[in-house]
Amino acid sequence: MRLAIDSFSLVPVTDQQQHSASLALRHLTKRFGPKVAADDVSLDVPVGSMFGLLGPNGAGKTTTLSMTTGLLRPDAGTAFVLGANVWEDPAAAKGRMGVLPEAEQMFNRLTGRELLRYTGLLRGMAAEDVVSRTDELLEALGLTDAASKLVVDYSSGMTKKIGLASALIHAPRLLILDEPFESVDPVSGETIRSILRSYVAGGGTVVLSSHVMELVENLCDHVAIMAEGRVLAAGTLDDVRAGQSLQERFLGMVGVHQLGEESLSWLRS
Amino acid sequence: MVAQLVTLQLRQLGHLLTRSGWAIVATVFSGLGALGFLGALAALLITLRAFAPEMLPPAMVVVGAAAVLIWMLGSLLIQGSHQLAPERFALLPLRPGPLARGLAAASAAGIGGVITIGLLLLSLIAWSVSLPALLAMVLMLPVALATCVLAGRAFSALLARAFASRKTRDFTSILLMMALVSTGLWLQFGIMAAYELGENLEALERFINIIATTPFGAAFGVPLAVWHGEYGIAAIRLVVALATVALLLWAWTAQVGARLVNPIQMRGSGTIRGGGLLERLFPATPVGAIAVRSLRYRRRDPRMIINAVLMPFLPVFVMAVWGMNGVLPLDLLPYLALFLPFMLSTVVGMDLAYDHANFATHLLTGVSGKDDRAGRALAIAVIAVPFALVLVLGSSAIFGAWDHTVAALALTLSSTLIALGAGSWLGVYLPGRAPRPGASPFGKGSSGGIQALVQMLASVAIIGALLLPTIGLLIGSVFVPWLNWMALLAGTAIGVATLVLGIRVGGKALDKRGPQVLQAVTSES
């Protein structure tokens, strides 16, 4: 069950805004057979915001982000990164954003240091900059000791951190992170959070997806809620939660799966 | 339990074979190929049965013992990706005994098992030399099958803990692969030894009788003894065969029991030292970085180590065998270097498939298609081009045959470069399919799928067509000798031009099709 779109939730978007916004999604649509994974998704992410994309599993978060980062060609619509159209001028758009790769998307038979060097050089950076930033990033993320180990042997938390480092190495103005805190231990999680906070304080923009409400509520200043491929609400954190907790708002919009009296009765025997 | 696990195995097999349109086409083709192979084998057996029946039973014992050995080595190779590893059942309330029997039965229902059953049934043609021997073999069929399957599973299970370390795993799979590929050489030695022994029939018979009494050949030794009318020996071999099955089953059950409560944890490979040399050899640009990464992967990723080892190994091997046998006149041997470009064409073309989801890194960083193509081609070229020279010049030097060196060099160099160019272009449209990173090099997708086959045929056609001018000049050189130097020049020029063009056109295509390529190489269907 889903509520109708609230009046505040969709900001009318114009062509001017896509230049002032750090990231502007316009009518992104993707079908997989009969299933509409993303249905006319439009969003604006203001410069300097920490933007949380929320939604249950299968809501279309990853599909939407893949179409934003150039991994998945949309059936319709496009995305603008600081004014550059991802699907018309991919080189410009990709140069301005950093993306946290999924574990399986990393060349994990390289060591951590080699992976960062590889990403930096692919980004067209000068070798000296790559080397100095690699050392700083490894240090900041607590990976110096593991720098000469193959990424395939990293724990999943370490893998997330080296992925974040490779997203940051070219100092992008926009960071796109799909589930950055998944399977990250609390200590590493705090490291990542503080890096993201100082990045945003320095004028960078972060878009992160998650389904952990508390985390998004604590960290983000803007949020959007997705379900079944659609954006149900978007805006500042306070606008979206409208006096309730984010969890309550989220469940109110996405709908709670109510258990009947009779279901699983045998468990109580 | 047995029925459930066999059903599970068959269902997995069914899904694997009919996942997608391409998979069904591939299944039909490999099915037809397998039927053709079995048919040819049946025809061979029937012919031998008609003309040299007394040869067949001893030969079957040797083949049977070899089958058990192949099961043992083969199950080591697919170890890492075993669909029905005991660990997968660790959370279910199962006892080791029934589970071990069920898993073994399920193995017999896998691809290897089905092939073995087919071969065992075919072997009945050979045993039809006498009715008692035939009956004995029919009775021994289940024992023979059980020996194969249990030997495979028990042997790989015993070594499984050693294989938890990535280094051991990678190293062994390379070693076994080389052993398998050079089977031809071993067979040749075997045949030569058998020939020597053949002079001495008694020794050969003694040798086969020994095999027939070992655990490897006992199941097949029983009908052999029956055929000879030696019922006492048959009884001894029967005891050996049954004891083998019992012992293997016990060992396998013990391993399953141990792994249900103490699953094997895969270990990593530790620290990588050095490695700065490659980075200094190539420029610090996207092209250089991709070349360095490609070369590192050829050393570190077992899926690629095998290709990297085989590529130089096979041409050398073929030359050595043909050179020793005198099949070809020695001065034609340098032409065998042409094996290299034909193997190369799919290696370049399938590079994207081997990247699997890792290709996303290239898309996310926005590296241009041209740089992507150029870096990968460069990594292979720095090895392949010098190696082509070594193959031609080396074989000329070793066999002292210099008459055809320039011509062979012209053809090999040209086709090596053309193969690189063709692969750079074709690979974007027909990336093929490879085992996912970390999976067994011999598991799902290791054959590259039907796309890889189409790609190879297309690449061979391109190489053939673009070699024509060079071939023309070489024919001319029969009359005007210096034309062979022209051929070398023209061939190299055509090769370089094709490579540059392949990188350009392939790069443009990759810029356009990048996301589609990513989907194609990561899709499981």
CA-nearest residue to A92 within chain B is B366
User: pLDDT digits over B380-395, tens only?
Assistant: 999 889 988 988 888 8
Burial classification of residue A259, based on how many CB atoms lie within 10 Å of its CB (0-12 exposed, 13-18 middle, 19 or more buried): exposed
Cβ atoms within 10 Å of B261's Cβ, excluding its own: 8
Report yes or no: B403 and B331 within 8 Å, Cβ to Cβ: yes
**Residue B294, in any domain of the structure:** yes
- Which residues of chain A from 150 to 189 reach within 8 Å of chain B, CB to CB? 150, 152-153
Complex prediction ipTM: 0.87
pLDDT at A21 over 90: no
Please give, rounded to a whole number of angstroms, the shortest distance from the CA of B301 to a CA of chain A.
7
What contacts A89, CB < 8 A, 6 or more positions away? Answer: none
User: Which pLDDT value is given to residue B418?
Assistant: 93
**Residue B57, in any domain of the structure:** yes
Of B261, B292, B324, the last residue of a domain is B261
Segment B358-376 shows an average pLDDT of 93
pLDDT at A18 over 50: no
C-beta atoms of B297 and A109 within 8 A: yes
Segment B344-367 shows an average pLDDT of 87
Q: pLDDT band at residue B494, thresholds of 50, 70 and 90?
A: very high
Q: pLDDT band at residue B271, thresholds of 50, 70 and 90?
A: low
Domain match, B182 and B330 both: no
Closest CA to B113 of B156, B139, B62, B148: B148
Report yes or no: B249 and B242 within 8 Å, Cβ to Cβ: no
pLDDT at B442 over 50: yes
Domain match, B326 and B182 both: no
Of B261, B287, B303, the last residue of a domain is B261
Q: pLDDT band at residue B35, thresholds of 50, 70 and 90?
A: confident
Domain match, B287 and B191 both: no
User: Which pLDDT value is given to residue B272?
Assistant: 67
Domain match, B286 and B248 both: no
User: Which pLDDT value is given to residue B344?
Assistant: 82
Q: How many domains does chain B have?
A: 2
Q: A71 to chain B: which residues are within 8 Å by CB?
A: 360, 363-364, 515, 518
C-beta atoms of A95 and B366 within 8 A: yes
Report yes or no: A74 and A41 within 8 Å, Cβ to Cβ: no
**Residue B378, in any domain of the structure:** yes
Interface check for A108 against chain B (CB to CB < 8 A): the answer is yes
Domain match, B301 and B204 both: no
Question: Over pLDDT 70: what percentage of chain B?
Answer: 87
User: pLDDT digits over A233-263, tens only?
Assistant: 888 888 888 888 888 888 888 777 777 777 7
C-beta atoms of A123 and B366 within 8 A: yes
Q: pLDDT band at residue B420, thresholds of 50, 70 and 90?
A: very high
User: pLDDT digits over B214-241, tens only?
Assistant: 899 899 999 999 988 889 999 999 999 9
Domain match, B48 and B149 both: yes
User: Which pLDDT value is given to residue A3?
Assistant: 39
**Residue B268, in any domain of the structure:** no
Q: pLDDT band at residue A15, thresholds of 50, 70 and 90?
A: very low
- Domains belonging to chain A, first-starting first, are 17-255 (3.40.50.300)
User: Which pLDDT value is given to residue B508?
Assistant: 94
Please state, in angstroms and as integers, the Cα–Cα distance from residue B482 to each residue in A42, B123, B396, B485, following that order: 70, 58, 19, 6
Q: B356 to chain A: which residues are within 8 Å by CB?
A: 104
Of B261, B288, B320, the last residue of a domain is B261
Q: A70 to chain B: which residues are within 8 Å by CB?
A: 363-364, 366, 514-515
Domain match, B481 and B517 both: yes
Task: Identify the weakest region by mean pLDDT among A165-174, A256-265, B436-445.
Answer: B436-445
pLDDT at B292 over 60: yes
Of residues B301 and A219, the one with the higher pLDDT is A219
pLDDT at B339 over 60: yes
Segment B175-188 shows an average pLDDT of 70
Interface test with chain B among A32, A68, A105, A168, by most B beta carbons within 10 Å: A105
Segment A215-220 shows an average pLDDT of 88
Task: Identify the weakest region by mean pLDDT among A11-25, A138-152, B288-302.
Answer: A11-25
User: Which pLDDT value is given to residue A1?
Assistant: 37
Please give, rounded to a whole number of angstroms, the shortest distance from the CA of B418 to a CA of chain A.
26
Q: Which residues pair with B505 in a beta bridge?
A: none
**Residue B507, in any domain of the structure:** yes
User: Which pLDDT value is given to residue A2?
Assistant: 38
Give the integer Cα–Cα distance in Å for A134 and A168: 10
Q: Where are the beta strands (DSSP E) in B421-521?
A: none
User: Which pLDDT value is given to residue B5?
Assistant: 84
C-beta atoms of B271 and A108 within 8 A: no
Q: Which helix (H) or strand (E) holds A175?
A: strand A174-178
Domain match, B218 and B292 both: no
Q: pLDDT band at residue B447, thresholds of 50, 70 and 90?
A: low
Domain match, B254 and B285 both: no
User: Which pLDDT value is given to residue A16?
Assistant: 45
Query: Which range of residues forms the domain containing residue B369?
Result: 277-522
User: Which pLDDT value is given to residue B275?
Assistant: 63
**Residue B176, in any domain of the structure:** yes
Domain match, B249 and B344 both: no
Q: pLDDT band at residue A156, thresholds of 50, 70 and 90?
A: confident
Domain match, B456 and B365 both: yes
User: Which pLDDT value is given to residue A6?
Assistant: 40
Domain match, B222 and B302 both: no
